[in-house]
Chain A
Amino acid sequence: MTERSPTEGTPDSELPVDGAEPDRVVVDALTRTYGGVPVLDSVSLVFGPGLTAVIGPNGSGKSTLLGALAGTVPPTTGQVQRPNAEDRGRKSIGYLPQRVPFREGFTARETLAFYARLVEGDPDAALASVGLSDAADKPIEDLSGGMQRLLGIAQAMLGDPPLVVLDEPASGLDPGMRERAFRTAATHATDDVTVVVSTHNLDLVDAHADRVVMLARGQVVAAGDLDALRDEYSVDTTAALYEAARRDATLSETADDGDPARSGAAAEDERSGSGDDSDRDVHVTGVSER
């Protein structure tokens, strides 16, 4: 995944916005405001196959970014381009919102059967993929929070979408369930499937994520291959990376004289010593074209 300039502008010609790389998800100068207040501010990223974790403090814009990826949050400005799989008989997006939304009164199997019928999927296979076969006949309201999240993950995976977006799939779960939720997501993140997960569980990011995006105040403060970022910041864990990136972002904001347009990813540019606008894209090992 590539993090690009935080400033607005026309789509970068280097980005595969015209489907040159159809498996990529391109976020181009995405801004989303609520009541005029930007929750995401000129975010530009490219997501590729594998598991990408979106991390950041509460209110940093993680859910808004994931909603924009899933198509449930329209951008105020900018655009999101996703792989279209419907012409290949697949669902284009798998989405699990932060709050599992399934109707009470239906069993786990009935719930998945509803979605499976829409994409000619197999609800029993989907249940088995998240280890819920034994709970198939339990009503939604009798499932634990962890089981409901696993069911939500199974739902998102139905129809083999090339893009799966899971908003905090491990939230509120015990350690065993958290591990299971992330392992399931990681298992599905194959060569042609992009899985994007938001989380506060940084140990799980260490264990399962290929890449990471860190948000703060609606802007990207670090993004790229997880190992490369840890090397870049000379840290061993995602938790240490999180602290280092956040510290850098805070320092950068202070040095920025309060200009909001130059916070966030602009800090990345300054840290790398680049002052040239054309050079402000952040290089990501193994993904970036630059």
Chain B
Amino acid sequence: MTGDLGVTDAFAGAGTVFRRELATVLRTPGYGVLAVGLLAVLWLLVAVGGGGATGFVPAVVDLLLPAELLVPLLAVVLGYRALLADAVSGEFAVIRTYPVGVVGYVVGVLLARLVALVAVVGLPFAVIGGYVWLTAAPDTGIFATHAGVDSPLLYVRFLALITLFGAAFLALSMWVSAAATSRRGAAALAVLAFLVGTLGGDLALIQSLMAGADPSTVAGRAALMPNGAFRGLVFETVIGVSFAQEGNVVDVGRAVGSLAGWTLFGSLDSVGTLAFRERMSTAIERSRFRFAE
């Protein structure tokens, strides 16, 4: 077993694992169905909101709330079994007899699933952006360099934020897949992670305001959970720019750091859980054995 690889070798095998995981994703027809389904839902939402002719920022406004639910949902679907499948089948034990570090394994799987996330989630949103570009009024095609003008660049920012937001939930769902010991358990944990991630922050914020918290701290605290960070960033860097508002929805730096932090947190915890779960259970057995002696 190659469990004691040094830091230099920690990423060994990541590229090979990435290729295999990507091939697995490409051969899973369900993900294609999800992408088509998402595209249909997004198109419907934009159509109900007045169609592509209304411009990029109105389209973002129409899509923001659905994105807050659909992006985490699809990210969780993509990630909740990613590490569990090999663990349950026993293939992870075989892979560990090769020069593959846990870090390399998790990074390979995570990057492949991130590519899948961009394809399954990012692509439908991008297609909607293309639809708006083709059908919107002429002045929406301006690449705005100042506030108050609708622009494709604002929509590109929205896409980038969606990817960052999805990556955070993907990494957290990967952690779920590393911690779970069965498919059913993974599904239950994934639902929990989805609910806590999407609703928990807002509910906690509301609860704290009701308890008398200073409203001026909302901008800072809203950024701490992924949904609050994403929503705040969309308001600050997409919608707010177009409407030339004085932005104070969220602390931008903290929100970006929050999304990056959740991604890093999920990734590191996935590595830690895979690397130390067996050692933990062995340590418990060891204590129990010595206690019984």
Contact = CB atoms under 8 A, between A and B. Distances in A.
A97 B99 contact: no
A86 B99 contact: yes
B278 A91 contact: no
B288 A33 contact: yes
A94 B289 contact: no
A101 B89 contact: yes
Given A36-B289, A101-B94, A115-B98, A70 B1 contact: yes
B289 A31 contact: yes
Given A72-B1, A91-B99, A118-B13, A103 B91 contact: yes
Contacts of B282: 74-76
A74 B278 contact: yes
A239 interface: no
Interface stretch (B20-28, B113-121, B124-132, B200-208): B20-28
A72 B91 contact: no
A71 interface: yes
Interface string B15-37: 01001100110011000000000
A99 B280 CA distance: 24
Given A33-B288, A74-B279, A159 B98 contact: yes
B217 interface: no
B183 interface: no
A101 B89 CA distance: 5
B20 A114 contact: yes
A36 B288 contact: yes
Given A118-B13, A119-B98, A70 B93 contact: yes
Given A34-B285, A76-B285, A97 B97 contact: no
Given A71-B97, A103-B91, A105-B27, A93 B1 contact: yes
A247 interface: no
Contact of A118 (B16, B286, B292): B16
A5 to B, nearest CB: 17
B283 to A, nearest CB: 9
A95 interface: yes
B3 interface: yes
B13 to A, nearest CB: 5
Contacts of B1: 70-72, 92-93
Nearest to B90: A101
Interface in A71-85: 71-72, 74-77
A101 B99 contact: no
Interface residues on A, range: 35 or more
A155 interface: yes
Given A70-B1, A76-B282, A105-B24, A118 B289 contact: no
A71 B96 contact: yes
Interface residues of B, number: 31
A110 B23 CA distance: 10
Interface string B84-106: 01100111011011111000000
Given A95-B97, A105-B27, A114-B20, A33 B289 contact: yes
A233 interface: no
Contacts of B181: none
A117 B16 contact: yes
A72 B282 CA distance: 11
Nearest to B28: A105
Contacts of A86: 2, 99
Contacts of B27: 105
Nearest to B290: A77
Contacts of A155: 94
Given A71-B96, A101-B90, A76 B13 contact: no
Interface string A108-121: 00100011011100
B89 to A, nearest CB: 4
A86 B28 CA distance: 35
Interface string B158-195: 00000000000000000000000000000000000000
Contact of B91 (A38, A93, A101, A110): A101
A86 B13 CA distance: 14
A34 B281 CA distance: 9
B100 A76 contact: no
Nearest to B1: A71
Given A72-B93, A118-B16, A36 B285 contact: yes
Contacts of B16: 114, 117-118
B97 A91 contact: yes
A67 B278 CA distance: 13
Top 4 A-B residue pairs of the complex, sorted by shortest distance between their CB atoms = A71-B1, A101-B91, A101-B90, A101-B89
Given A103-B20, A115-B94, 6 more contacts: A36-B292, A70-B97, A72-B97, A74-B278, A95-B94, A105-B24
16 contacts: A33-B289, A36-B288, A38-B289, A76-B286, A91-B97, A91-B98, A93-B1, A94-B97, A95-B93, A95-B94, A97-B90, A101-B89, A101-B93, A103-B85, A118-B13, A118-B16
Interface of A: 31-36, 38, 67, 70-72, 74-77, 86, 91-97, 99, 101-103, 105-106, 110, 114-115, 117-119, 155, 159, 161
